[in-house]
């Protein structure tokens, strides 16, 4: 119980740092300096106004202490989600190398999702950087396998297969999707659908490569096929409430890859592979 609480506090603090990254990375600002400040009045935030969840809901009630401007609900949401994810990973992997590896991966998922929701694009270096760090994580893990004399099923080998498969599979789908979209637009004499000319962006391809590195080939497949269902739910919501139907896609891919992290093996066992 107490260790779960510590995991939650650690996770929500990590979420607080992710909030800083979500706000600053797309603006090319440093994520270490200066200290957190209010985006409206630019006054530095006191440490006691920066306590995950508690400050937002109890001390500040969603408003800046100085200028009273509303603080985005995104801040406590990211803290809460990261906290819950951390507790889940801790319960599943306890305090192991896999825990850190998947916590890092999940943090990247949260990061790209919320940046994509806000900007409809993410800085191009995030997923390639995730790929490189993921390979380093797996290389270290493999070295421990080798030390104990295990040479089969090395994490780095699975990771590399996952990378090639994730990039290749998604890229082929993109080419195919672009072709269909091109034919559709050609037949209907349109330039694009609400400014969209691509079925999938290259960012989605990088993202799936990253999923392959951390979770392996099977999870690339489950992620790829689960994500559209999440997208579909949102699209229905958007149609009902007449919002724009351009949907940022990375949040669905992220959600689907987290579901894969939890259940991919189970799904494959279930369908008999
Ligand atoms: Zn302010």
Averaged pLDDT, 11-15:
97
Q: Taking a C-beta distance cutoff of 8 angstroms, is the pair 84, 4 a contact?
A: no
Q: How far is the CA of 67 from the centre of ligand 1 (A)?
A: 4
Q: How far is the CA of 37 from the centre of ligand 1 (A)?
A: 8
Q: How far is the CA of 44 from the centre of ligand 1 (A)?
A: 9
CA separation for the pair 123, 27 (Å, rounded): 9
Q: How far is the CA of 16 from the centre of ligand 1 (A)?
A: 17
Q: How far is the CA of 51 from the centre of ligand 1 (A)?
A: 16
Give 56's pLDDT tier (boundaries 50, 70, 90): very high
User: Given this model, what pLDDT does residue 111 score?
Assistant: 97
58-86 confidence digits (pLDDT tens): 999 999 999 999 999 999 999 999 999 99
Q: How far is the CA of 55 from the centre of ligand 1 (A)?
A: 14
Give 197's pLDDT tier (boundaries 50, 70, 90): low
Q: Taking a C-beta distance cutoff of 8 angstroms, is the pair 221, 162 a contact?
A: no
User: Given this model, what pLDDT does residue 182 score?
Assistant: 85
Domain ranges (residues) in the chain: 1-95
pTM score = 0.91
For residue 25, give the 3-state DSSP assignment.
Answer: helix
Could you tell me which residues come within 8 angstroms of residue 122 by beta carbon, excluding any fewer than 6 positions away? 26, 112, 115, 116, 203, 250
For residue 247, give the 3-state DSSP assignment.
Answer: coil
CA separation for the pair 251, 231 (Å, rounded): 9
Q: How far is the CA of 14 from the centre of ligand 1 (A)?
A: 23
Q: How far is the CA of 54 from the centre of ligand 1 (A)?
A: 18
Q: How far is the CA of 26 from the centre of ligand 1 (A)?
A: 21
Instruction: Kindly tell me if the per-residue pLDDT of 121 is higher than 90.
Output: no
Averaged pLDDT, 242-265:
84
The sign one gets for the Cα dihedral 164, 166, 169, 175 is negative
Give 96's pLDDT tier (boundaries 50, 70, 90): very high
Q: What percent of the chain has pLDDT over 90?
A: 67
Q: How far is the CA of 38 from the centre of ligand 1 (A)?
A: 5
Q: How far is the CA of 71 from the centre of ligand 1 (A)?
A: 9
Best CA proximity match to 268, nearest among 221, 226, 230, 229: 221
Buried b (16+ CB within 10 A) or exposed e, 238-268: eeeeeeeeebbbbbbbbbbbbbbbeebeebe
């Amino acid at each position: 119980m107490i260790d779960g609480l510590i995991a939650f506090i650690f996770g929500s603090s990590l979420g607080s740092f992710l909030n800083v990254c979500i706000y600053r990375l797309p603006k090319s600002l440093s994520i270490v300096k200066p200290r957190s400040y209010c985006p409206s009045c630019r006054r530095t935030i006191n440490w006691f106004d920066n306590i995950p969840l508690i400050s937002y809901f109890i001390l500040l009630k969603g408003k800046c202490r100085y200028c009273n401007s509303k603080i985005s609900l995104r801040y406590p949401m990211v803290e809460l989600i990261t906290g819950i994810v951390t507790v889940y990973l801790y319960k599943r992997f306890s305090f192991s190398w896999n825990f850190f590896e998947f916590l890092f991966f999940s943090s990247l998922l949260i990061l790209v999702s919320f940046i994509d929701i806000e900007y409809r694009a993410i800085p191009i270096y995030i997923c390639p950087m995730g790929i490189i760090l993921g390979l380093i994580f797996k290389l270290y893990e493999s070295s421990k396998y080798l030390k104990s004399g295990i040479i089969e099923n090395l994490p780095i080998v699975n990771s590399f297969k996952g990378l090639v498969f994730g990039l290749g599979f998604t890229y082929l789908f993109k080419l195919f999707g672009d072709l269909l979209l091109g034919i559709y637009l050609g037949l209907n004499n349109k330039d694009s659908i609400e400014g969209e000319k691509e079925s999938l962006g290259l960012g989605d391809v990088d993202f799936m490569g990253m999923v392959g590195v951390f979770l392996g080939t099977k999870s690339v497949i489950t992620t790829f096929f689960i994500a559209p269902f999440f997208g579909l739910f949102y699209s229905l919501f958007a149609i009902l409430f007449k919002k724009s139907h351009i949907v940022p896609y990375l949040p669905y891919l992220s959600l689907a890859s987290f579901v894969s992290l939890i259940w991919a093996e189970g799904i494959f066992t279930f369908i008999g592979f």
